[in-house]
Amino acid sequence: MASSITVNLMTHQTIARQYDLYINGCWTAPQAGRYRTLCNPATGAPLVTVAEADVADTRRAIAAARTAFDAGGWADMPPGERSRLLHALVDAIEARQAEIADAEMCNAGCTWRKATLMDIPVGLIHFRHFAKLADFDPLEPVPQITFPALAYNVVRREPIGVCGQIIPWNFPFLMAVWKIAPALAAGNTVVLKPASYTPLSAIKLVEAIHETGLLPPGVLNLVTGPGDVVGPELCVNPQVDKVAFTGSTEVGRTVMQQAASTIKKVTLELGGKSPNIILDDADLDVAVDGSLWAVFMHNGQACESGTRLFVPAAIYDPFMERLLDRAARLRVGLPEEGATDLGPLISAGQLQAVEKYIGLGIAEGATPALLGRRPTDPALAHGHFITPTIFTNVHNQMRVAQEEIFGPVLCVIKYAREEEAIAQANDTIYGLAAGVWSANIERAMSVANRLRAGTVWINDYHMIHAEAPFGGYKQSGLGRELGVWGLKEYLETKHIHVDLTRNRSDKFWFDIVAPQA
Ligand code: NAD
């Protein structure tokens, strides 16, 4: 795949700036004057300072979004016009894609290669798809109704209203697009809260949109700040109609509970512990490289990573020999270097959490066939780096096989029979994604059909398409993102009944007796 981004800024000091909140079409300081310094996870160097909103700031943003929605103009803009406007916004974002890629690298530790080949171009494709979907027909015909009388009925799709949107730190630009694009395409207004660690690419995205001057004030608002301050306000505030959350299952549970106080519409994209099943007829080289990509892409900091690898006993030894050999050759390094496969983890806390899980796996009896370590290269000394870990002799009930680690740790589980692999693959609280590797597509399809997951990849992994739904079974989430399924999550359904008869005897009304003369 060729990168469509030709300018590589690669400046770790791009952005010696302070960023405010974006409320009602203006950049505005937080009322308490608090800012937070963001650091580059690869070097520890300070990057920029970003506003720390409090509850009052969040309420200001919600009020702006409410006013913009209730005023009409945006919500009832003709779909074709809204679609054209959104295409113009994507053009503006695209014009700044190198800067956004740089922000993703410096702020989120994304390798330059992945940012420029995947995250930013894919995000732009997804945004454009929603710009196209915005031109939908809001009216849906209903079959003709004749009982108890002739009536014309129509179903109208309408925007839900004000959407509070909360996103995580692992794919900050893509997650911002997945939230903003369908919400705007459907005619909603938005308050977006990026993760505290990684707001920079979302800020750049909003800057690009702001500079077009095309979006009415209040339609899109950006509130950076602590998750446990801004997040709960978005969930409980009665002026917010829907909460869309991507993050951990633990926080997702809290979001759902908080949103219940006002019965908000809720969509949740949560954690995973995805099974990746090798069948005994798989092409070994393809399955080995695919499995490494499945688990170690972005250092395992992906919700749908293939973290539990099921390998059949019949090919276990040759498969593992290749897997370990190739995993040991993955290059951990600075994200801007073209040869780097794995950049840093997002934070010191995440690095410590991963190391704790490596210790736990060993204590549980798993064998560290490849043991992750902090690299000795002095160039990496100030970043949150760790090399990959591969555990063998893992049982599916071990905590390392059941809990989301969110780092470069693979659990390999040997199996004898296909049925056994499928049962264990499904034996998890999660159900986000899965992989199957086989030379026989019918066989792979039959396994895919029995996996309880929102997405199953056959002979590939991490392929997410603008046109296809993405979301979780079980405790991996509620609702779907992307495609028409993603758009529908931002639409209300209204039924309008138009009486076509004046005949009172066809109605169920009261038979009101006329007053006695
Ligand atoms: P997190 O749950 O810690 O935080 C997610 C967001 O919620 C952040 O913006 C955070 O500030 C905010 N938040 C924190 N406390 C909150 C509260 N009480 N109320 C409302 N919001 C609050 O997740 P993370 O560590 O940023 O990201 C990693 C997690 O995200 C993993 O579990 C991963 O699986 C999940 N994830 C899921 C998907 C998906 O599509 N299913 C995609 C990416 C990441």
Nearest C-alpha to atom 13 of ligand 1 is from which residue? 227
**In this predicted model, what pLDDT tens digit does every residue of 207-231 receive, in sequence order?**
999 999 999 999 999 999 999 999 9
CA pair distance 92, 207, nearest whole angstrom: 9
Nearest Cα neighbor of 358 from 382, 343, 346, 374 is 374
What is the number of residues in the chain?
A: 517
Q: Average the pLDDT over each of 289-303, 316-330, 501-515 and give the range with the smallest value.
A: 501-515
Active site residue 404: no
Between the CA of residue 385 and those of 10, 313, 345, 389, what are the distances in Å? 19, 33, 6, 13
CB 420 within 8 A of CB 313: no
- For 252, the enclosing helix (H) or strand (E) is helix 249-260
pLDDT for residue 219: 98
CA pair distance 417, 312, nearest whole angstrom: 7
pTM equals 0.96
Q: Which residues make beta-bridge pairs with 35?
A: 51
First-to-last C-alpha distance (Å) of the chain: 88
Q: Is the dihedral of CA 482, 450, 436, 297 positive or negative?
A: positive
Ligand 1 atom closest to 232 (CA): 19
pLDDT for residue 381: 97
CA pair distance 175, 110, nearest whole angstrom: 14
CA pair distance 29, 24, nearest whole angstrom: 13
pLDDT for residue 504: 83
Q: Which residue has the tokens 């979780």?
A: 472
Measured from CB, residues less than 6 Å from any atom of ligand 1 are: 166-170, 193, 195-196, 227-228, 231-232, 235, 246-248, 251, 254-255, 269-272, 303, 404, 406, 432, 472, 477
The pLDDT of residue 385 is above 50: yes
- Quick one: pLDDT band at residue 16, thresholds 50, 70, 90? low
CA pair distance 463, 476, nearest whole angstrom: 18
CB 447 within 8 A of CB 468: no
Active site residue 303: yes
The pLDDT of residue 3 is above 70: no
pLDDT for residue 143: 87
- Quick one: pLDDT band at residue 429, thresholds 50, 70, 90? very high
pLDDT for residue 330: 98
Maximal CA-CA distance, the chain: 103
CB 7 within 8 A of CB 96: no
| Residue 433, burial from CB neighbour count under 10 angstroms (0-12, 13-18, 19+) | buried
The pLDDT of residue 1 is above 50: no
- Quick one: pLDDT band at residue 11, thresholds 50, 70, 90? very low
The pLDDT of residue 30 is above 50: yes
Catalytic position from the list 39, 106, 235, 303 = 303
Distance 471 CA to ligand 1 centre (A): 15
